Amino acid sequence: MQEKIALTGNEAMALAMKQINPDVVAAYPITPATEIVQIFSDYVSNGLVKTEFVTVESEHSAMSATLGASASGVRAMTATSSQGLAFMWEVLYIAASYQLPIVMPVVNRALSGPINIHGDHSDTMGARDSGWLQIYSENTQEAYDNLIQAVRIAEHPDVLLPTMVMMDGFIISHAMENLEILSDQDVQKFVGEFKHHRPALLDLDNPITVGPLALYDYYMEFKRQQAEAMRTCKPVILQVAQEYAELTGRKYGLYEGYKLDDADLAIVVLSSTAGTAKVVVDELREQGVKAGLLKLRVFRPFPYEELAQALSGRKAIAVLDRADGFSAFGGALFNEIRSAMYDVKDRPLIVDYIFGLGGRDVNLDHIRKVYADLAEIAKTGQAAQLVSYLGVRE
Amino acid sequence: MAKLLEIRWHGRGGQGAKTAAQLLAEAASSVGKYIQGFPEYGPERMGAPVLAFTRISDEPIRVHCHVTEPQYVVVLDPSLLLRGDVTAGVPEDGIILINTDRSPTEMRKAMRLTGRKVFTVNASRIAEETIGRPIPNTPLMGALIKVTGLMALGDLLADTEQRLAKKFADRPQIVEGNLNAVRRAYEEVQGE
Amino acid sequence: MSNLLTWKEVPKGAFLEKPGNAADYETGDWRSIKPVWIAENCIQCFRCWVYCPDAAIMTKDKKMIGIDYKHCKGCGICANECPAKPKALEMINESDSGDN
């Protein structure tokens, strides 16, 4: 049974964590993710979860303690944002290389400087090659659903990779929206008991070594194996989504196509902006414009084959990047989408818009402008600018 | 009801604009509406001008951009009228509800306002008399549903009671005070 | 490289299920000077055994019986700590030893 309820994104994430009921949470507060662990610590104090809650002195320690707990053979979680994620950096890579199924909500926020507390994707885009799975959420419902599914995905024996679940800072984290929630029992049943798929640090009868030295004689084999886990986890993500759909009626995939199948003009975007773009797609469809949208849910692993298939046949594509790559060649999403499209026959023109940095509002008019640009590109067969900025004062 | 109704709350830090935006959203959610309730976050502190927003619709709400053309505006502190931006983006038939002891006619004149519909209610006094503190947010919710027909008084009271009872489990007089504030503002709000 | 495991064989996440494998790693060839044990001088005080950072002092039946040259790095601490007079441990140059 599901209950209809109104919650902010942070409240929804905290509730999902309560229902997952992890063994250990080690966390350090940072705007706009603070509320997640603050609310969760109330659950701990009130005895509503069995979790050992560890207050640490920094995000570096939060991830280190979470890593240690996970290696000891229990379900461990934390949550962070922006500078906090940046401060976790070196430990992120270690968690991934140890193949520890840590699940972490990340509330997307701009990186300093200048100091900014609002939502953009520069924090998690920087961590895109750390070996973590990355799942992005459009709204509070998806944030809740994705976090619960992430536990099953991360802990699957074919995956065993840490997973971060994103939502946009303030836009979702602090916005109250309607969502449907599962009962505690249903979530517990769905995520199941934490299973040991290999020896753990605290198994005294079977001592192991974790974190060994591996130089040029072995390092590459470990990395190749780690890469394989990332390459092979797509079926698990889809299987978990299938089971979740059976439980909730809500369907998830690697991406969501919105009026995409017959679209001439398509926008590719992550997270909350997809909702705003859908409104414009509907508007344009009423005017007879074949507009469509691809909202990428799973950015890591990057589903390049599926994306190439879904985007082939479009006439013009705009990728919207909520983080600049500072590469002089657009954002990360743009680069990867373009690469994925390289082998498509009669590939469409693809342009990039950097938008929404530091929480800069992207409204219906901005999206309308992008589709208008795409219509022009489709008509003329050329793009005036490959990479441009949306909503910046010129 | 409009396909998508947008409300902008103008207050000062500490007056409960965010709480009102979200309480109203929750109340609308409890009667089956789709909602969003969110504040505008900046370096705000007690007394600084703040904005909060409520979206209400019969259909799922997908937009995640700022509210720029609200049909309804609620002003929690009349001193904010001097800033002149409370009417920004409000359509000709929009509603402006102000917490003040003055009449709508006086306010229209003071604001040099043309068009729109102005309503006033002395929410601070009502709050002082019912809750014991001049926090005008809950009475303004009562006044707003009266002038907009957004939802029935009974539904708002029921939901507000449930929310506040959780927050003030040990202080039932605060819950009762807030409910009385909603009722009184519902009765006392004046139009032109 | 033939004895080494492939990427399909290495343990997941480098969780090594056979810990305590440092003995397999022979550090004896790091040595440029080596301790030589002079049995007749040895007073069996076990100071060398206590101080040796590489557990390279070999014992049998509670007696010091010699040096494990496969792991001894030649740091010289044993010879320095040896209290016997004359010393039971002396450092010599590897190049002078003629063997290992």
Rg (CA), chain A: 21
Look at the domain B4-188 and name its fold: Pyruvate-ferredoxin Oxidoreductase; domain 3 (3.40.920)
Q: Where exactly are the structural domains of chain B? A: 4-188
- What is the reported pLDDT for A304? 97
In 3D space, the residue among B169, B164, B133 whose CA is nearest the CA of residue B15 turns out to be B133
- What is the reported pLDDT for C96? 77
A149-194 pLDDT, tens digit each: 999 999 999 999 999 999 999 999 999 999 999 999 999 999 999 9
Q: Kindly report which listed range (A62-71, A267-276, C1-10) carries the lowest average pLDDT score.
A: C1-10
Query: Residue B48 above 90 pLDDT?
Result: no
- Per-residue burial over A220-250, b if 16 or more Cβ lie within 10 Å, else e, is ebbeebbeebbeebbebbbebbeebeeebee
| Strand intervals (E) in C1-100 | 33-37, 57-60, 63-67, 89-93
A215 in reach of chain C (CB within 8 A): no
B115-158 pLDDT, tens digit each: 999 999 999 999 999 999 988 999 999 999 999 999 999 999 99
DSSP secondary structure code for residue A347 in this structure = P
Q: Which residues pair with A136 in a beta bridge?
A: A166
Question: How far apart (Å, rounded) are the C-alpha atoms in residues A112 and A233?
Answer: 33
Question: How far apart (Å, rounded) are the C-alpha atoms in residues B4 and A72?
Answer: 51
Q: Which pair of structure tokens corresponds to residue A258?
A: 């919105």
Q: How far is B58 from chain A (nearest CA, A)?
A: 12
A-chain residue closest to B61, CA distance: A275
Q: What is the mean pLDDT of residues A67-79?
A: 96
Question: How far apart (Å, rounded) are the C-alpha atoms in residues A97 and A210?
Answer: 11
Structural domains for chain A: 2-247 (3.40.50.970), 255-390 (3.40.50.920)
Q: What is the mean pLDDT of residues A37-50?
A: 97
Query: Which chains have 3+ CB pairs within 8 A of C?
Result: A
pTM for this one? 0.91
Question: How far apart (Å, rounded) are the C-alpha atoms in residues A262 and A248?
Answer: 29
Assess contact for A83 and A122: CB atoms under 8 A: no
User: Does the structure's ipTM exceed the value 0.85?
Assistant: yes
Query: Which chains have 3+ CB pairs within 8 A of A?
Result: B, C
Query: Residue B13 above 90 pLDDT?
Result: no
Q: Provide DSSP, A98-155.
A: TT---EEEEEE-PPSSS---S--SHHHHHTTTSS-EEEE-SSHHHHHHHHHHHHHHHH
Question: How far apart (Å, rounded) are the C-alpha atoms in residues B122 and A166?
Answer: 43
Question: How far apart (Å, rounded) are the C-alpha atoms in residues A160 and A388?
Answer: 38
| Chain C residues inside the 8 Å CB shell of A214 | 14
Question: How far apart (Å, rounded) are the C-alpha atoms in residues A306 and A312?
Answer: 10
Q: Kindly report which listed range (A173-182, A239-248, B11-20) carries the lowest average pLDDT score.
A: B11-20
C45-83 pLDDT, tens digit each: 999 999 999 999 999 999 999 999 999 999 999 999 999
Q: How far is B54 from chain A (nearest CA, A)?
A: 9
Q: Which pair of structure tokens corresponds to residue B2?
A: 């409009």
**Confidence at C100, pLDDT banded by 50, 70, 90:** very low
Structural domains for chain C: 26-97 (3.30.70.20)
A173 residue type, one letter: S
Count of helix runs (H) and strand runs (E) in chain B? 6, 6
B65 to A177: CB separation less than 8 angstroms, yes or no: no
- What is the reported pLDDT for B43? 64
